[in-house]
Every structure is written in C-alpha cells, then in structure tokens.
Chains A and B, each alone.
Chain A
Amino acid sequence: MDFDLMFTSFPKLLGATVVTLKLLSVSLFFGLFIGLLFAILRLNKNIFINKFAYGYSYVFRGTPLLVQIFIIYFGLGQIEYLRSTFLWVILKEPYWCAIIAFTLNTGAYTSEILRSAFQTIKPGIIEAGKSLGISNKIIFYKIQIPIAIRQSLPAYGNEIILMMKGTSLASTVTLMDLTGVAKYIISTTFKPIEVFIVAGGIYLFMTFIIHNVIKYLEKKYSFQ
C-alpha cells in the first residue's frame, strides 16, 4: 500500500469531483423536465404521441450510455449542416455533449418512473377533486403531480445514483471528471488499488449522501 500516493492524489480527485457533481446536477435538472414532459406524453390518448414517447424511452433505455455519448460527440459533428448553425457552439464542446447525452438518458428513465407513478394514483383522488368542482388543470398541477413526485421518490433516488455512476463515462470524451482523473493517476503511477480506494471512497460517500437525502425526503413527504 502506497499511502503517500493516496494522500497526494486525494486533493486532485476531490477537485475532479466538482466536475462530476456539475455534470450530475445539470443533467438531472434538465432530465427531470424532459422526464416529466415525456411521462405526460405517454399518458396522452393520441396513439402517435403515445408511441413516440414510448419509442424515445425504449431507445434510450435499450442502448448503452456510451453509444449515446459517442453518437452525440463524434457522430453529430459529421453533419455539415449542423456545423454552420449556432448549435455547433454547443456540440463542439465535450462538456455539453456529455450533458446532452446524460440529460436524454436520465430523461428516458425518469419518464418511466413518473409514468408508473401517475398510473398508480388512485382514481378516487381525482374523482374527489372533480366532485369538489376543481378544474382539470388544477387537479393535475396541485394533486396529481405532487402525489406522483412523492410516489416516485424511492425509484428516482436509485436513478440519481445510477446517473452519478453514469457521469463517469464523461471521461471517455476527454473530460477530466473523477473517473477521468483517477484513470490518469492510475496510468501514470501504475497503482490501481490505491487510486481505486480513494476514488471509489469518494463515489461511495456521494452515494451515501444521496441515499440519505432521499430517505429524509421520503419520510418528510410520507402520507402519514
């Protein structure tokens, strides 16, 4: 065991953790909106809209995240037309490509989580709202969405942790996140175990925090 290396690499890895957290929070933020949008589209009665939303979540959940990042980072740059539009400002940056891929990926999973939460809401609750003369719009925003969010908390907590692990793939498109820096230190020092313990420890610590925050929220917003 090379404890010196563990001590010297810790601040470097901690600095890279900031990149990981940035990637995670930005993509979760946008992913939540996309997830909510597609969950609502899934509940739409129009078969085309419905199938479109289903197709989106099927494709993004059925393919590896790595493929999605590569298509966006390496693939989209190939389209000449895109290079001449303002989108190129975003698509030439690996940082934004990673965020787009993560957002679309977590959006697909989130849409499934929210859809099943919407579907488990008891019809009696909506009927009660209707019989009280509350408009459909308010029933949706004030009753269905809050209940669905509470229902989906445990599953969404898992999704956050999966996404946190997913951000490690940003290192494949030259971003120096926690895994990227860990790989760099490993390949220069050839001490994989020491670096794994430190980097893995940081990841586990983040998992622990996320897990407990979700647990706290579940308790706070429980029905009892």
Chain B
Amino acid sequence: MELLAFGKTGWGDELFYATLMTIAVSITAMFIGFFFALIFTPLKLSKFKSLNLIGNFYTTVIRGVPELLVIYLFFFGGSGAIMYVASIFGYFEYIEINAFITGSMAIGIISGAYSTEVFRGAIQSIDKGQFEAAKVLGVGKFAQFYKIILPQMLRLAIPNLSNVWQITLKDTSLISVTGLVEIMRQSYIAAGSTRDPLFFYSFAAVLYLLLTFLSMKLINRLEAKYSRGY
C-alpha cells in the first residue's frame, strides 16, 4: 500500500494525475471525433457518389487499420507534415508538436470514424415522415437539423456512442508508446523503478475498470434524460 502513498514516497499522486491525463485525452479525442463525424456523416449520407466515396474511404480505412499504426503515423509523421505546411508559408524552423495534441488527434480520428457510423445509423433510422413534415411546415434546413433531427438522433445514438466512448477510453492506453504520461505510461515508469510490474499494471487495470464503470453510470443517466417520453 505504501507504493500508492501520495507525495515523494509513493506513486499515488503520479497515478492520480496520470488518470486525469487519460480522462483529458479521452474527452479531447471524443470531441475531435465528433468534429470529424460532423464532416463525414453528411458526406456518407449525401446523394453524390463521389462524396459518398470520400466518407466511406475514411471510415473503412480507419476502422480497418490497427490503432497503433495510426498512432505511429501521427507520432513520426505529425511534425513533418506541420513543418511541410509551414515551409510553404516560409517558416523553416523545427517545429515539435506536443504529445498530447498528437495523441488526441490520432485517437480522435479513430474515434471519429466510429462516431460517423453511429450518427449515420441514427439519422437513417429516423422516420422519413419527420423530414417531410418539417419540409411541409416550412422549417428551414438549419432549424430542421437542430430542432427536429438532432434531438431524436441523440436518443438513438447515445447507447452506441457509449460504446465509442469505451473504445476511445481504452485506445488512449496506446498513446503511452509516444511517451505521453497517462495511466499506462505512468505504470510503466513506476513498474520500472520499483520492479513491481504485476502490482502497477494490475492497478492500471483497476483504474481503467473504474473509469469505464463510472462513465457507464453517467451515460445511463444521460440516456434516461434523452429518452423521456418514450
């Protein structure tokens, strides 16, 4: 137990901050994912074949390639790509991107592919009559989406989005290979310096279980809120 003590003698505070880091990366990645889903869901639902193709390309490639490979692409290629773009604008200094940003971007793009599929499914399962009724009542395209489609869609999407959240939360453990100090990386450091890997990795597993358990409780509450009246 003294291994988990807070302060200089134990790893308690380090692991606590690492847990906060995991939560921060997961939430950032989830929102980056929503942003990508917002772009690619309309593409997948579009009437134009070429736009469909772009949307399908994104979701197929990301969901068919291991997360670790995507992370390596971002980790090794991220600063190169940024520097290339900067060089076009006449900036030739070395740019290093923060591990937090690289990691959340990589996980965010992965999470976005899953979110896109969830939103697509949710929108497609909304009754056609809802769209038609909105049109007949002369509701504008924008209001139709925000006031009519989105609230109904969220109710249908929440159970599947909670799966996406679980996947995203677990995927953040892979960012540890880039050196970002989250639960997994911190356990690796602690295991290395105390020579007690069994304890620290098991404790990491407990932390992840706790996170998934608590977030499920929260999501269930959200689900109840959005399905009022059903």
Q: Which residues of A contact B (CB under 8 A)?
A: 58-59, 62-68, 70-71, 74-79, 161, 164-169, 171-172, 179, 182-183, 186-187, 190, 192-193, 196, 199-200, 203-204, 207-208
Q: Does B176 contact A (CB under 8 A)?
A: yes
Q: Which of B188-213 contact A (CB under 8 A)?
A: 188, 191, 195-199, 201-202, 204-205, 208-209, 212-213
Chain A: CB-nearest residue to B81: A193
Does B66 contact A204, Cβ atoms closer than 8 Å? no
CB distance B72 to A186 under 8 Å?
yes
Question: Hey, what's the 0/1 contact readout for B144-186 against A, CB within 8 Å counting as 1?
Answer: 0000000000000000000000100011011011000000100
Contact status of A75 and B213, CB under 8 A, knowing A168-B67, A200-B65, A204-B64: no
Asked if residues A59 and B205 are in contact (CB atoms below 8 Å), the reply is yes
A70 touching B69 by the CB < 8 A rule?
no
Cβ B208 vs Cβ A64 within 8 A: yes
28 of the cross-chain contacts (CB-CB < 8 Å) are: A62-B209, A63-B170, A63-B209, A64-B171, A65-B170, A70-B204, A71-B197, A71-B198, A71-B205, A74-B191, A77-B197, A78-B196, A79-B198, A165-B64, A165-B66, A168-B69, A169-B174, A172-B68, A172-B177, A186-B76, A187-B76, A192-B73, A192-B77, A196-B77, A200-B69, A203-B64, A203-B65, A204-B61
Question: Which 3 pairs show the lowest CB-CB distances between chains A and B?
Answer: A168-B66, A75-B198, A192-B77
Task: Report how many residues on chain B are interfacial, defined by Cβ distance under 8 Å.
Answer: 38
With A71-B202, A77-B197, A165-B66 given, name 10 new contacts (CB 8 A): A63-B212, A65-B170, A70-B188, A70-B201, A74-B198, A78-B195, A169-B174, A179-B72, A192-B72, A199-B69
Please name all residues of chain B whose beta carbon is closer than 8 Å to the beta carbon of A183 when the two chains form the complex: 72
Q: Nearest chain-B residue to A58 (Cβ)? A: B209
Residues on the A chain within 8 Å of B202, using CB? 71, 75
Q: Contact: B197 with A75, CB < 8 Å? A: yes
Residue of A nearest to B209 (CB): A62
How far is it, in angstroms, between the C-alpha of A85 and the C-alpha of B187 when the chains are bound? Answer: 27
B121 in contact (CB, < 8 A): no
Contact yes or no, B191 A193, CB < 8 A = no
Judging by beta carbons under 8 Å apart, are A66 and B198 in contact? no
On chain B, the residues within 8 Å of A78 by CB distance are 195-198
Cβ contact within 8 Å between B64 and A70: no
Contact of B60 with A by CB under 8 A: yes
Interface residues in B44-80 by Cβ distance below 8 A to A read 60-61, 63-69, 72-73, 76-77, 80
A65 to B171, CA, bound (A): 9
A193-B198 CB under 8 A given contacts A64-B170, A200-B65, A204-B60: no
| Interchain CA distance A167-B64 in the complex, whole Å | 13
The distance from the CB of A194 to the nearest CB of chain B, in whole angstroms, is 10
User: Please, how many angstroms separate the alpha-carbon atoms of A63 and B210 in the complex?
Assistant: 9
Contact B197 A203 (CB under 8 A): no
Identify the closest chain A residue to B210 (Cβ).
A62
Contact partners of B61 in chain A: CB under 8 A: 200, 204
B72, B170, B174, B184 pick with most chain A CB within 10 angstroms: B72
- Among B63, B67, B208, contact of A67 (Cβ-Cβ < 8 Å): B208
CB-CB under 8 A from A168, the residues of chain B are 66-69
Assess whether B60 is in contact with A64, with CB atoms less than 8 Å apart. no
Nearest chain A residue, comparing its CB with the CB of B172: A64
CA distance A79 to B173 in the complex (A): 25
A165-B65, A183-B72, A192-B76 given; A64·B198 CB < 8 A: no
- How near does chain B come to A210, taking the closest CB pair, in angstroms? 10
How far is it, in angstroms, between the C-alpha of A204 and the C-alpha of B195 when the chains are bound? 39
Quick check: A66 and B65 within 8 Å, CB to CB?
no
